[in-house]
Amino acid sequence: MPTYNDVLEAHFRALFSPEDEVLIRIRAGIEARGMPTITVKPEEGRFLQFLAAACGARLALEIGTLGGYSGTWIVRGLQPEGRLITLEREAERAELAREHFALAGLAERVEVLVGDAHLLLPRLTARAPLDFIFIDAEKEGYPAYLAWAAENLRPGGVLAAHNACRHGKVVEAGQQDAATEAIRAFNQRLAQDPRWIASLYPGGDGMAVAVRTNSR
Ligand SMILES: C[S@@+](CC[C@H](N)C(=O)[O-])C[C@H]1O[C@@H](n2cnc3c(N)ncnc32)[C@H](O)[C@@H]1O
């Protein structure tokens, strides 16, 4: 049975998702500031770009900016006039992300909002419906982010959530930490709720993906 392994990952990363100079510099910039190197992998970034393009997204939301790496991939998949709103709790990270979006020539198309996403989201309801949402913040918050997304994504809009596998912990019975339990609950709700057609992209740490249906 074919298996997605390190060799295939390297092969397809080089083939489909090579980073350009800007993305390389963004990743290096995050590392140089001593920030955690927990950005999505290039193939995950490319997949986000693909998803945003496939649903013709004009207005996208990202929860969890860090230094703007995944955000840059997403904006590159939006319609030419498309915009990204991205939420980051840490002011220093948000500032670096702004620098990186400027480096990428995308400053005019991205709003970096600083604060706790749980406090910012109620205000963003006024901007709904959104076309695309990417969740990549604290794992305990995923169920709440999913509930918000179900109310604020347009039918046909796409949701993606990082770390759906939690590095394998979701299938290890002994793993009962709050973050793993939250991801399990998130995956289960996404899979069973008729408001979503959901699946899992198995690259990186797993990306849960779903299309918003017409169900209320
Ligand atoms: C995994 S990193 C994001 C990586 C980024 N999406 C990328 O791939 O380039 C998660 C980020 O979410 C931020 N974060 C965590 N909890 C948050 C919250 N409740 N509200 C806003 N940001 C949060 C963290 O400070 C961190 O920078």
Ligand 1 site, residue 89, Cβ cutoff 6 A: yes
Alpha-helical runs (H) found in the chain: 6-16, 21-32, 42-54, 69-77, 91-103, 117-124, 142-152, 178-192
- CA 90 to ligand 1 center in whole angstroms: 8
Cis amide bond preceding 129, omega within 30: yes
What residue's CA is closest to ligand 1, atom 7?
Answer: 39
Ligand 1 site, residue 88, Cβ cutoff 6 A: yes
pLDDT per residue rounded down to tens, the chain (216 residues): 567 788 998 999 999 999 999 999 999 999 999 999 999 999 999 999 999 999 999 999 999 999 999 999 999 999 999 999 999 999 999 999 999 999 999 999 999 999 999 999 999 999 999 999 999 999 999 999 999 999 999 999 999 999 999 999 999 999 999 999 999 999 999 999 999 999 999 988 999 999 999 998
- CA angle, 52 then 74 then 32, to 5°: 165
Domains of the chain, earliest start first: 6-212 (3.40.50.150)
**3-state SS class at 164:** coil
Are the C-beta atoms of residues 120 and 86 closer than 8 Å to each other?
no
Around 75, how many Cα atoms within 13 Å sit in the side-chain half-sphere? 23
Ligand 1 site, residue 75, Cβ cutoff 6 A: no
Structure tokens at 139: 């794992």
pTM: 0.97
Structure tokens at 134: 């990417």
Ligand 1 site, residue 136, Cβ cutoff 6 A: yes
* pLDDT value at residue 105: 98
Mutate to test the pocket of ligand 1, among 37, 89, 111 (most ligand atoms within 8 A of CB): 89
